[in-house]
Amino acid sequence: MLTLRLQRAGSKNKPEFRIVLAQREAAANKKFVEILGNYNPRTKAFSIKDEARLKYWVEQHVAISPTLNNLLVSKNLLNSSKLRAFNVPTKVKAKRAEEEAKAKAEAEAQAAAAAEAETAQAEAPAEEATAETTENTETTETPAETPAETPEQPTEATEETPAEQPKTEAPAETPAA
C-alpha cells in the first residue's frame, strides 16, 4: 500500500523534508517511489514539483500522513480538515493537568490573600480612628486608673536545679595473671 509522507533529508540540526510517495512498510528514510516536492520547516519554504501528480495520487486515495495532510491543508492544496498529528502520552496529560490544577490553586490563594490584605487595609484606618479617640479619653483619666502596659512577671521563685556533675567511673581492675 502506498502513502504520501515526509522524508527527512537535511543535515544535523538543519532539517529539510522531501514529500515522497513510498510504500507504507518501507523505512522512512529509504526507498520511495516518487519525489513530489520538498519542505523546509526553518524557512517555511514549501514547493511541489508537479501539482498534477500530487492531485493524481490524492485522487487515487493514497493514504497521507497526518503531518503532510496538515501541511497541504494549510497551503490550500488539499480540501479537507486538519488531523491530529501528534498524541500526547497519557502520563504527560496527567502531569499537565496536575500542574494546571496547582497553578490554579496558587492563583486562587494569591487572590484570596490580596483580598484579605485589601480588607485589612480598609479596616486599618477605621481602627486607627477608634484607637485615637480611646487614647484621648485615656489621657484624661488618672494614671492609677489605667491598666499597666507591661505584662506582669510571675513573682514565684523558681527553684534552680544544680548542674549535673559528671560521673566518675572507677577504673576496672584487671585480673593478675
Which tens digits make up the pLDDT trace of 41-100? 899 998 999 889 889 988 888 888 988 888 989 888 888 878 887 777 777 778 888 899
Q: Are residues 7 and 68 in the same domain?
A: yes
Number of domains the chain is built from? 2
- DSSP class of residue 84 equals -
Q: Are residues 65 and 126 in the same domain?
A: no
Residue 81: inside a domain, yes or no?
no
Query: Long-range contacts for 91-98 (Cβ within 8 Å, ≥24 apart)?
Result: none
Contact criterion met (CB below 8 Å) for 69 and 55 = no
Q: Which helix (H) or strand (E) holds 88?
A: none
Q: Are residues 33 and 6 in the same domain?
A: yes
For residue 14, the model assigns a pLDDT of 92
Residue 125: inside a domain, yes or no?
yes
For residue 150, the model assigns a pLDDT of 55
Residue 102: inside a domain, yes or no?
yes
Question: 5: which strand partners?
Answer: 20
Residue 99: inside a domain, yes or no?
yes
Give the range of the structural domain holding residue 31, as residue numbers without chain letter.
2-74
Q: Are residues 69 and 95 in the same domain?
A: no
Q: Which residue from 73, 93, 95 is spatially nearest to 83, judged by alpha carbons? A: 73
Residues 6+ apart with CB under 8 A from 91: none
pTM (two decimals): 0.47
Over residues 104-148, the pLDDT tens digits come to 999 999 988 888 888 877 776 666 656 555 555 555 555 555 555
